[in-house]
Amino acid sequence: MQHPPRQSPGPWAAEARATLALAWPLVLTNVAQALIHATDVVLLGRLGPDSLAAGALGVNLFNACLIFGTGLVVASAPMIASEIGRFRHSVRDVRRTVRQAMWAAVAICLPAWAILWQAEPILLAFGQEPALAADAARFVHALMWGLLPYLLFLVLRAFVSALERPVWALLVGIGAVLINAVLNYGLIFGAFGLPRLGLLGAGIGSALANGLMFVTLAIVVTRHKRFRRYRLFGHFWRPDWQRFAAVFRLGAPIAVTLALEVTVFNAAVFVMGLIGRDELAAHAIAIQIASLAFMVPLGLSQAVTVRVGLAYGRIDRAAIGRAGWTSFAIGQSFMLLTAATMWLAPGLLISAFLDPHNPANAAVAALAVKFIAVAALFQIVDGAQAVGAGMLRGLHDTTLPMIYAAIGYWVLGLGTGWWLAFHRGWGGVGIWAGLATGLAVVAVLMLARWIARDRLGLLPGASPRSPRRVAPA
C-alpha cells in the first residue's frame, strides 16, 4: 500500500521550530551563568552574614561592568548572522567580526578593571561599612580577572549561535557551573587539599570558571569540523579598525540599554529600602521569581536577533517578518503562562523563599503576594520589550531603542513608581506599578518601530523615502 507523500511544514511552523531549537540552549546557558554567581552567594552564606553581605556587594559591582561589556560584545551576534545570511559560506567577514568583537572586549575590560580595582573607595562612597567594603574589594580583586574570558566566551557563543549550534555553549556553561561549585567550595573552605581562602577563594574560583568556559569553547571552535574552517584565531593581532568601529557603533547603544535596565532595578532596591524592611524583603522575593521567568524571553531575544539577522543578510522581507513575529508570539505565550501562575498560586511561589505560615513572616508574605500580583502584568510587558529589542537588533537598529529605554525605564518607570509610592500612598506596590508602566511604554515603542520597519528604512539598501525592492511580506 502506497502512503501519501509527507507534507513539509509551512514557513511559519518551520520558523517556530528553528526558533525553539536555537532558543532553548540559549535560555539554559543564561540560567547556567546566573547559577555561577548564585553559587558564590550560597556558599558565602555558610561563612556567615558578613561574608554574605560583602560577597553580594562585590557581585553587584562586578555585574555592573559585566552587563555593560555584555551589551557591547553581543553586537557580534546580529553582525555575524547578517553576514552568513548575505553569503552562507562567508568566512572572512565572519572572522573579521569575531576578532574585532574580541578586541572590543579587551578595550572595554581595561577601564572596567581600573574601576573594579577601586572597589573599596567606590563602596565607601556609597555609604557602605568600611569592614564590608574592604572584604568586598578583596573578593572583587580576584573576581575581576574573570571578566575578559567571560566576554570572549560570549563572542564565541554568538558565533556558534549564528551558525545555529548553540548547544556547544550550553554544554560548556553546564560544565562551568559544576567546576565553579567544586572550585569555590574547595577554595572557600579549604576542601580537596586546597587552601582555605574565604572570600578571596570565591573570587578566584569564579574567575577560573569563566576562564575555563572561554578556553573550552575556544577548543571546540578550533577543532570541530563545523567551525574550524573559519580559523577565528589566525593572525589575531591584525587590526581592522573599520570593523572594530562597527562593533562599537552597534554595541555601545546595546550596552547602554542593558545598563539602564539593570540600574533601574538596582535603584528600585534602594527605594524599597526607604519604604521599609518588610517591603525590601518582599521585593527581593518577587524580583527573584520575575528574574527566573525572564530567562526565557532573554533567550528568545538572543535567538530572534540571530534569526532576523540571517534574513536581514538575505534581504528577505517575508522571512524577517516571520522570524520576528514567531519569537514574539512564543515569548508572549510563555509570559502569559507565568503571569497566570503568579495570579493563581502566589503562596506556592513565596513558600520557596520563606514559610508563609510562620507569624514572623506574615507581613513580608502579605506584601510579596501584592508585589507578585503586579509582577504578573510586569511579566507580559517585560517579555514584550525584551523580545522586541532583540527583533530590532537583528535589523542592526540599536540607537533609538536605547533612547526608548532611557525614557521608559528611568523617566516614566522610576518616576511613576516614586510618585505612586510616596505621593499617592501606594508604598512598595507603587514601585512595582511604576516599573511595569515604564516597561509597557518601552514595549509599545519597540513594537511600533518594528511594525514601521519598512517605512522607517530599517532594511538594508533602502531609505525611509524609497521603498525596498524585496520579496513581498
The DSSP secondary structure of 129-164, one letter per residue, reads: -HHHHHHHHHHHHHHGGGHHHHHHHHHHHHHHHHTT
- Domain stop point among 212, 239, 266: 239
Considering all CA atoms of the chain, what is the largest pairwise distance in Å, rounded to the nearest integer? 83
| 98-109 confidence digits (pLDDT tens) | 999 999 999 999
Let me know if residue 226 belongs to a domain: yes
Cβ(51)–Cβ(198) below 8 Å? yes
Let me know if residue 7 belongs to a domain: no
Let me know if residue 413 belongs to a domain: yes
Q: How confident is the model at residue 42, as a pLDDT? A: 72
**216 shares its domain with 330:** no
pLDDT at 343 over 80: yes
**304 shares its domain with 225:** no
| 316-327 confidence digits (pLDDT tens) | 999 999 999 999
**204 shares its domain with 269:** no
- Domain stop point among 239, 266, 298: 239
C-alpha triplet 272, 418, 442: angle, nearest 5°? 105
Cβ(146)–Cβ(183) below 8 Å? no
Let me know if residue 39 belongs to a domain: yes
- CA–CA gap between residue 349 and residue 210 (Å, rounded): 31
**150 shares its domain with 264:** no
Cβ(40)–Cβ(63) below 8 Å? no
**258 shares its domain with 153:** no
pTM as predicted: 0.84
Neighbours of 262 (CB within 10 A): 19
**193 shares its domain with 303:** no
- Domain stop point among 239, 269, 287: 239
**44 shares its domain with 128:** yes
| 60-111 confidence digits (pLDDT tens) | 788 889 989 999 999 999 999 999 988 878 889 999 999 999 999 999 999 9
Listed residue (409, 446, 449, 457) closest to 431, CA to CA: 409
| 263-307 confidence digits (pLDDT tens) | 888 788 778 777 877 887 788 788 878 888 888 999 999 999 999
Cβ(116)–Cβ(136) below 8 Å? no
**47 shares its domain with 118:** yes
Give the residue ranges of DSSP H helices in 190-276.
199-223, 241-275
**438 shares its domain with 471:** yes
| 18-56 confidence digits (pLDDT tens) | 999 999 999 988 888 777 777 776 787 777 767 777 887
**113 shares its domain with 234:** yes
**218 shares its domain with 278:** no
**164 shares its domain with 90:** yes
Let me know if residue 166 belongs to a domain: yes
Let me know if residue 58 belongs to a domain: yes
Domains: count for the chain = 2
Domain carrying residue 453: 251-473
Rounded to the nearest 10 degrees, what angle do helices 147-162 and 199-223 cross at? 30
Let me know if residue 244 belongs to a domain: no
Let me know if residue 6 belongs to a domain: no
